[in-house]
Structure 1
Amino acid sequence: MATASEKNSMYIETPEAFGDAGKNFDDDGRIKRSGTWITASAHIITAVIGSGVLSLAWAIAQMGWIAGPAVLFAFSFITYFTSTLLADCYRTPDPVHGKRNYTYSHVVKASLGGRKFQLCGLAQYINLVGVTIGYTITASISMVAVKRSNCFHKHGHEDKCYISNNPFMIIFACIQIVLSQIPNFHKLSWLSIVAAVMSFAYSSIGLGLSIAKVAGGSNHVRTSLTGVEVGVDVTATEKVWRMFQAIGDIAFAYAFSNVLIEIQDTLKSSPPENRVMKRASLIGILTTTLFYVLCGTLGYAAFGNDAPGNFLTGFGFYEPFWLIDFANICIAIHLIGAYQVFVQPIFGFVENSSKSRWPESKIINTEHSLNVPVLGSLNVNLFRVVWRTTYVIITAVVAMMFPFFNDFLGLIGSLSFWPLTVYFPIEMYIKQSKMERFSFTWVWLKILSWVCLIVSIISAVGSIQGLAQDLKKYQPFKPQQ
């Protein structure tokens, strides 16, 4: 057994140290993982199908029938391709028998090291923080939409029905404070499965309502091969900015690479994790792309160039009001689970860093057993309670300050897509496979990376411009759509 000093220095005992009890541990000394391609697919679908689907009709409207679907398919292919590269990097240097890496940043450190590891950590955690803020905004908008839907049904569609988002952000934050006390990401499979079911539900409702609207005939709806028309719907400058922002919205819709390693770390070791993760990624991305293309194109067909920024909360649909209510409740439930998928890596990073830096601290390292009705015995740590509660409160406050749905999503997607989805997976694959410089594969991988960098820059510029415009005309008590 390990000595006291070894335990205090984050020593991990090997499975052999436990004799027969070693059957309950993996090759790295941690409790045996039990995840499968089914649970991994659920995690991915939860992370990918989220608030991004709600803005796709608007995004397609900015680019039209040709460029819109083409951009969707391009992002889908690139995301899947780079996710397969990343899956092979979970273990290093060998993808099957190498040493495990528990987080995205650990993979970068093992493969690339040095300054790239620091830059990766910065990019990843900024993105994760941004996503949790974005989900707080989106969930509150959906909660507000339920009240507004009932208001429109009762008082008519011409009523203003202004409702502040802030109380609903507080409600969402309170729910997250409770869920955030779950100490282990591995315990969240049930939450991801529930959230995945919710994502299917509201995506299907939006899809069904769009089909019904198209089938019912919408002669006043204008669509075109190039999207919103210059001189009719927007100015030439607005057209350019909106197209840039639409690219960012689509990039956000496919943002999941930054939690792929954490998801892969939940998988049992046989069959090999990389093979299972590639299967889960394929299922997850094929499923989401199908929904995205259908929701985006049918939403555009239903609303035309006047497609709202969020087609379930922007009130392109008013009736049946009870179905709109149910869809928005599903969105809120889904985002409750998705928030946890993205916030757990942040929690883990801060808590593990704190334990390493202050191994003697009782506040940080001492666990207390607490009996909770229904849930049974739970481990409670004072530092974990205070830190996680503080984080949730801060994200809620920032969301109240910048409650802009499309712009915020576009900015997050723009900033995270190139470094986390494209650059680091490609660089790690090149390094791990010992690819020869200037070989054919090396050249086209580098070209892909540079093209994606340019796309990310222009979409970020468009989102920042949109955010600046929204701040100028922001009314705190008017619901944001």
Structure 2
Amino acid sequence: MADHVSLSVPDESTCFDDDGRPKRSGTVWTASAHIITAVIGSGVLSLPWATAQLGWIAGPSVLLLFSAVTCYTCSFLSDCYRTGDQLTGRRNYTYMDVVRSNLGDVHVKICGVIQYVNLVGVAISYTIASSISMVAVKRSNCFHNNGHDHASCNISSTPYKIMFGVLEIVLSQILNFDQISWLSIVAALMSFTYKTIGLGLGVAKVVQTGKIQGSISTGNEIDKVWKSFQALGAIASAYSYSLILIEIQDTLIKSPSAEAKTMKKATRISLVVTTVLNMLCGCFGYAAFGDQSPENLLTGFGFDDPYWLLDIANVAAVIHQVGAYQVSCQTLFAFVEKKAAEWYPDSNIITTEIDIPIHRCKPFKLNFFRLIWRTIFVIATTFISVLMPSFNNIVDILEAFAFWPLTVYFPIKMYVVKKNIPKWSGRWICLQLLSGACLVISIAIAVGSFAGLVSDLKAYKPFK
């Protein structure tokens, strides 16, 4: 890993920040939109199923617990954005820069592997999820016109994964985070749209039946235990965004307060919003369907009508996943392009930017390396998604791989170093106990998710 490089200028201006880079324009609201776009994915629609695996007591309790842990540890991570003083210290542009500044190169390499493997997996999972939503629209209309037993309503998801991939090839040429704020805002609005529809349909079903489904606790069968572990992964993924937190924080303007203070506010706003939505979706979906809750509230056909409303919800889900793919992958794109420029500074293919005029808009900056590598990346993730059978299990495995190190271990360890918390002090012991408990949870998620994936692979036939 190359050493952290920072440009310094004597004074800030109206055009440049204290590190010599163009003036940042992000606010608490754009940061909140980025977080909501990354966090409130279609995985939230599996929360009724997750709640069903845990029961009425454990389900909502775990939802609240993961929210609290994420908020707590992400505040530690926000404090590490600058090395030294929160207003004048050196900036760390990525999660890996933060780890390097506080923990050294060995931890950086471990962090890099975990973070970027996870981002590749996230891209694959969004491709799978979007195709499921597109297939659901097609099947919903087919069922409405022909009935639920019609043979033509069995539809392959492969063409829809390819369609999503083609669109992402185009959008992946957007240069960086600052230029996708509009996409995050649109995606966040779409996310609210389909969550609201799913919630509304759950409430309507409870009102229609006049009773609340579900049980207080879960059973003891071994299959139920594996599914309970998977449920923990589904809930954890509903709050996971720490792997791109620093990149989001790096878009924020410094005034009127330090970036860490603004980021903490955005985190609180976003997690309050997501927790309320998660609780409502999870609880009302479980109340509507009980132990028979589908793995996806909108695509599992727990609801049949109104079919047009389901179509709107699933289209909104696709639009959200289009934006979420870009929010997540920009970090990986920037890392690869930065390293390529460091390794081959004299290569015209890597460093040359060509301005392509666009009528009434800023010129589009074409870079051949960016065009080629990002296109190859999208094609590769699309192909892998075709081979994978299940959205939920893929997401759960990713969460098992990343939740403990990126959301808990590294933030806590860096906070201990930054604040010089004495070893074996009361606070140090409490933080280590929290980290250890979350490690146990991650192991449980991994065991349950691999068991579920193996079961799905036995019946799955790619390209069909």
| 1:192-211 alignment, distance < 5 Å | 192-211=184-203
Within a 5 Å distance, the mapping from 1:396-415 to structure 2 comes to 396-415=382-401
Task: Give deviations 1:349-379, integer Å, cap 9, x for gaps.
Answer: 0000000000000000001011234644111
Which deviations, in whole Å up to 9, do the C-alpha atoms of 1:109-144 show, x marking residues without a partner?
011012111101111111111111111110110011
Structure 1 range deviating more: 86-95 or 141-150: 86-95
State the alpha-carbon separation in 2 of the partners of residues 292 and 357 from structure 1.
44
Deviation at 1:264, TM superposition (A): 0.2
Q: Verify the 8 A CA contact 2:26 2:252 in the aligned structure 1.
A: yes
Give the corresponding residue for 1:168. Answer: 160
Matching residue of 2:285: 299
Q: Deviations over 1:242-268 (max 9, x none)?
A: 001110111111110000000000000
> Which region of structure 1 is more displaced relative to structure 2, 251-260 or 364-373?
364-373
User: Compared with structure 1, are the counterparts of its residues 415 and 442 closer, same or farther at alpha carbon in structure 2 (3 Å cutoff)?
Assistant: same
Partner amino acid for 1:470?
A: D
Structure 1 CA distance for aligned equivalents of residues 461 and 305 of structure 2: 27
Deviation at 1:226, TM superposition (A): 1.2
For 1:198 and 1:419, how far apart are their aligned partners in 2?
30
Q: Verify the 8 A CA contact 2:386 2:463 in the aligned structure 1.
A: no
2:364 alignment partner in structure 1: 378
1:4 corresponds to: none
Matches within 5 A, 1:104-253: 104-160=95-151, 161-217=153-209, 222-227=213-218, 229=219, 236-253=221-238
Work out whether residues 252 and 414 of structure 1, in 8 Å CA contact, stay in contact via their aligned partners in 2. Answer: no
1:433 has 2:425 as partner: no
1:319 counterpart = 2:321: no
Contact 1:35 1:267 in 2 (8 A): yes
Alignment match, 1:6: none
Offset of 1:157 from its aligned partner? 2.5
- For residues 430-463 of structure 1, the C-alpha deviation after alignment (integer angstroms, 9 at most, x for no partner) is 0000111111110000000000000000111100
1:76 aligns with 2:61: no
Alpha-carbon distance between aligned partners in 1 of 2:139 and 2:93, rounded to the nearest angstrom:
44
Task: Structure 1: state its 5+ residue gaps.
Answer: 1-8, 231-235
Unmatched 5+ stretches in structure 2: none
How many Å apart are 1:285 and its aligned residue? Answer: 0.5
**1:273 and 2:259 are equivalent in the alignment:** yes
Q: Which residue of 2 aligns with 1:261?
A: 246
Match of 2:209, SS state, is: coil
Change (3 A) 1:402 1:283: same
User: Which of 72, 75, 84 is residue 93 of structure 1 equivalent to?
Assistant: 84
Residues in 1 aligned to 2:122 and 2:187: alpha-carbon distance in whole angstroms:
16
Per-residue deviation, 1:183: 1.2
Q: In the alignment, residue 208 of structure 2 is paired with which amino acid?
A: G
Contact 1:218 1:302 in 2 (8 A): no
**Shift in CA distance, 148/15, structure 1 to aligned 2, threshold 3 Å:** same
Q: Cα 1:320–1:285, aligned 2, differ >3 Å: closer, same or farther?
A: same
Which residue in 2 is equivalent to 1:233? Answer: none
Is contact 1:144-1:168 (8 Å) kept? yes
Query: What CA distance in whole angstroms lies between the structure 1 residues aligned with 2:292 and 2:183?
Result: 36
* Partner amino acid, structure 2, of 1:156: G
Runs of 4+ in 1 over 6 A off after TM superposition: 9-12
Query: Which residue among 317, 341, 346 is the counterpart of 1:360?
Result: 346
- Once residues 97 and 403 of structure 1 are traced to their aligned partners in structure 2, the CA distance between those partners, rounded to angstroms, is 49
Q: Distance in 2 between matches of 1:413 and 1:10?
A: 28
TM-score (ref. length: structure 1): 0.93
Letter in 2 for 1:138: A
CA deviation profile, 1:308-357 (whole Å, cap 9, x unmatched): 11110010011000000000000000010010010001000000000000
Pair 1:132–1:11, CA change in 2 (3 A): closer
1:326-341 equivalence runs, <5 A: 326-341=312-327
Residue-by-residue CA offset, 1:193-215 (whole Å, 9 max, x unaligned): 00010011000000000000110
Kept in 2, the 8 Å contact 1:48–1:254? The answer is yes
> Are the counterparts in 2 of residues 15 and 23 from structure 1 also a CA contact under 8 Å?
no
Rounded Cα–Cα distance in structure 2 between residues aligned with 1:265 and 1:453: 29
d(CA) in 2 for partners of 1:10, 1:428: 17
> Which amino acid counterpart does residue 166 of structure 1 have in structure 2?
T
Give the total of aligned pairs. Answer: 460
Deviation at 1:13, TM superposition (A): 5.3
SS in 1 for 2:22: coil
Q: Is the 8 A contact 1:65 1:224 kept in 2?
A: yes
* Counterpart code for 1:249: A
Partner SS state of residue 379, structure 1: strand
Give the drift of 1:94.
Answer: 2.6
Q: Does 1:103 align with 2:94?
A: yes
Distance 1:91 1:443, change over 3 A: same
**Residues 45, 196 of structure 1: 8 Å contact kept:** yes
Deviations 1:82-124 (A, max 9, x none): 1101000000123332110000011000110121111011111
* Secondary structure at the counterpart of residue 124 of structure 1: helix
Query: Residue 43 of structure 1: CA displacement?
Result: 0.6
SS in structure 2 at match of 1:247: helix
Q: Deviations over 1:138-165 (max 9, x none)?
A: 0110011100110111111233511111
Which of 26, 51, 61 is equivalent to 2:52? Answer: 61
User: Equivalents in 2 of 1:237, 1:467: separation in Å?
Assistant: 16
Cα offset for 1:41? 0.6
Task: Give the distance between the partners of 1:165 and 1:97, measured in 2 at CA.
Answer: 51
The residue type equivalent to 1:63 in the other structure is L
% same residue: 52
Change (3 A) 1:218 1:414: farther
CA gap of 1:101–1:10, structure 2 versus 1, over 3 A, is closer
Task: Write the letter of the residue equivalent to 2:320.
Answer: H
Q: 1:460: which partner in 2?
A: 446
1:15–1:22: 8 Å Cα contact kept in structure 2?
Answer: no
- When the two structures are superposed, what TM-score results if normalisation uses the length of structure 2? 0.96
Deviation at 1:288, TM superposition (A): 0.2
The alpha carbon displacement at 1:414 in A equals 1.3
Matching residue's letter, 2:236? A
